[in-house]
Structure 1
Amino acid sequence: MRVSMADVAERAGVSAQTVSRVANGSPRVDPATRARVEKAMADLGYRMHRAARALRTGQTSTIGLVVSTLASVGNSRMLQAISEAAAARDYALAVVTVGERGIREAFARLRSQGVDGAVVLNEATELARDAQPPADLHLVVVDSPADPRFSIVQTDHAAGARAATTHLLALGCGTVHHLAGPAGSFAAVERERGWRAALADAGVAAPEPVRGDWTSASGYRAARALVGASAVFVANDQMALGALRAFADAGRRVPDDVAVVGFDDIVDAAEYRPPLTTVRQDFDALGRRAVAALIAAIEGGDAVAETVPAALVVRASSAAI
């Protein structure tokens, strides 16, 4: 049996209008009453009917996610994090990928679904910046240079890469080579910047980086140019997996002959052979902050710029060489 506002009002000892105000986030409810109504909602398992709420407020309580691909582990992890964060705020999520028809078509599809705003993820952010997003669509972008048109939430990629490179230098390897991500990726550029900064701090010239496309296959191909290296910082864990295979095929032992550090700390990183030293991205925190920033914008708040720290996780792939 569906729980109604009247049921909640009776349980909380308030009017149905007060329940409606609480459900719609109105500030015109004192904290004690709000807490009593929210407890009654939780006790009864009350859920606001989205269509009815949309008619009253003009908002659908649905947000969108724009992504170039879900094939990469990082993007899939962000989808899960944003989906869970949206559900915790009682928002539905509509996902669109940027196909051949481009970012404008993706935005048009979201608007046709009546979303209140959208999160634009990673590689799609460059497309969003260049496309002049619709003025009536609130946006939060994950990983982007500063832009006054929307809120930005990002990992501190440069600091994480700097920590990884400094760790490798401390092993006494002389220099650290870099297997970088795509040149057009903000995250890849920032990770390369952190790598270069750590080498500069140590007075070491930066070797020419080799580049992949985030996939393990591209990591394998690119790493074949680095088989003589003694230390490699790889821009993500998937490419690091390919690099480990390339080194093994070349007869180079990790970490005895070459130390390897990745980035992301994907779920399987500790199961690589050897277990992979990597920089951990807090995908859950990124998802929570992106959704919170978007809902705040939908409710009339100002744009924000937030940076989530990244932490080095040392495992066997970078033991002393």
Structure 2
Amino acid sequence: MVSEKPPGTKPNIRQVAAAAGVSHMTVSRVLNDHPNIKDSTRRKVLRVIEELNYRPNGAARALATQRSQRIGVMIESAREFGPLYTLRAVEDAARAAGFGVTSVPLAEHGAFAARDAMDYLVSQGVDAVCVIAPRSSSLAALRQVSVDVPMLVVKSSGDPHYLTVGVDQQLGAELVVDHVAGLGHRDVLHLAGPLDWLDARARERAFHARSRQWGLKERPIVVGDWSADFGYDFVKSMKRKPDYTAIFAANDAMAMGLLHGFAEWGVEVPAQMSVVGFDDVPLSRHAIPPLTTVRQDFDVVGLKVVEVLTAAVRGGEVPARTTVGVEVVVRESSAPVGGVAL
């Protein structure tokens, strides 16, 4: 049994060491994931840390390890669902791993903006950098900036310059095509996101490739701007009811705009038109009808980002590319051609 500490005092590392019957250096090695510690000793020290509610002094740890225990995040388009939820997931995972996060917005002004953002993070002494820059033009600017700490970009494809972690966008689009084609649809429109966005481009390419495999009718895509207003305005601008029987929208916001527009026009979803989105935003299950969509697990993305970067900081082996899977969440907005929701 660990002795109780006096009320109002915080335990220190030497008290933890005394209670565990080890040296304070052993406690320090356990806290810093040193490999040369017996499992039984590690478990004993961690149990005492939990019982004493010991919290390491961040400044002391930084001095001892010559690390700040901080990850820098450069983020673009933080108002959009994907980048925002990715940042939150990285912050949560970093906190659980004992790291802080310093984030800085990436402005849309090319290499100088990227260099300014990187200079700021370096001035904060970050141990690693995560880049949430979803546009290809932003990555092009970042490639002109170098940094002496591990750097990771959140994107689905690999990259010769950076570590990457990302959702399997190609698989997500393929699963959508498999879903609607399996329901009998042979004429499907793709409402894409802005094609400078890496995710939008990956979804668009995978949609066309899978559609050809199914023998679906080829038709030009419509390029949107991610907003629900765009989906709504697209429907309202139609001169006549469309020939296609399903729409794959590249995100849930545009899909819900489509639902609104079709409801006003009198096109029944899903009896006359199936609609599928991408993201599984919290509101998608409350759309009318509830939206079939692709679920991205941003919590897993954040966890993998932090796992890769913290391992790289410690000098461990890390994968150059990490891919997170997806799944189609089938709800009432998709159904067989001329049928009812499954």
Partner of 2:320: 304
Q: Offset of 1:296 from its aligned partner?
A: 1.1
Give the CA RMSD over aligned residues. 1.8
* Contact 2:191 2:223 (8 Å CA) reproduced: yes
Partner of 1:44: 52
Identity %: 38
Pick aligned residue for 2:333 from 301, 317, 320 = 317
Pick aligned residue for 2:151 from 139, 160, 180 = 139
1:208 alignment partner, SS class? coil
2:107 alignment partner, SS class? coil
AA aligned to 2:300 is A
Provide, for residues 42-69 of structure 1, a one-character-per-residue CA deviation record: whole Å limited to 9, x for no partner: 1111122111111121110011222112
Q: What TM-score comes out, normalization by structure 1 length?
A: 0.94
After superposition, residues 1-321 of structure 1 pair within 5 angstroms as 1-100=9-108, 102-123=113-134, 127-132=138-143, 133-224=145-236, 228=242, 229-301=244-316, 302-320=318-336, 321=338
Provide, for residues 268-293 of structure 1, a one-character-per-residue CA deviation record: whole Å limited to 9, x for no partner: 11101100000111111111111101
Q: Offset of 1:91 from its aligned partner?
A: 0.7
Q: Offset of 1:122 from its aligned partner?
A: 4.5
* Contact 2:75 2:105 (8 Å CA) reproduced: yes
AA aligned to 2:201 is V
Higher Rg of the two aligned structures: 2
Please say which of residues 202-211 and 144-153 is displaced more in the overlay: 144-153
* Contact 1:179 1:223 (8 Å CA) reproduced: no
Provide, for residues 282-318 of structure 1, a one-character-per-residue CA deviation record: whole Å limited to 9, x for no partner: 1111111111011111112345211111101110000
Distance across 2 between alignment mates of 1:286 and 1:232: 27
Q: What TM-score comes out, normalization by structure 2 length?
A: 0.88
2:116 alignment partner, SS class? helix
Distance across 2 between alignment mates of 1:72 and 1:292: 24
* Contact 2:291 2:333 (8 Å CA) reproduced: yes
Q: Offset of 1:180 from its aligned partner?
A: 0.3
Runs of 5+ consecutive residues of structure 1 not aligned to the other structure: none
Q: Figure out how many residues of one structure are paired with residues of the other and give that number.
A: 321
Distance across 1 between alignment mates of 2:43 and 2:234: 57
Q: Offset of 1:100 from its aligned partner?
A: 5.0
Distance across 1 between alignment mates of 2:237 and 2:187: 16
AA aligned to 1:74 is G
* Contact 1:8 1:41 (8 Å CA) reproduced: yes
Distance across 2 between alignment mates of 1:105 and 1:281: 31
* Contact 2:186 2:215 (8 Å CA) reproduced: no
Q: Offset of 1:223 from its aligned partner?
A: 4.3
Q: Offset of 1:129 from its aligned partner?
A: 4.5
Please say which of residues 233-242 and 40-49 is displaced more in the overlay: 40-49
Q: Offset of 1:194 from its aligned partner?
A: 1.9
Distance across 2 between alignment mates of 1:287 and 1:126: 23
Q: Offset of 1:103 from its aligned partner?
A: 1.8
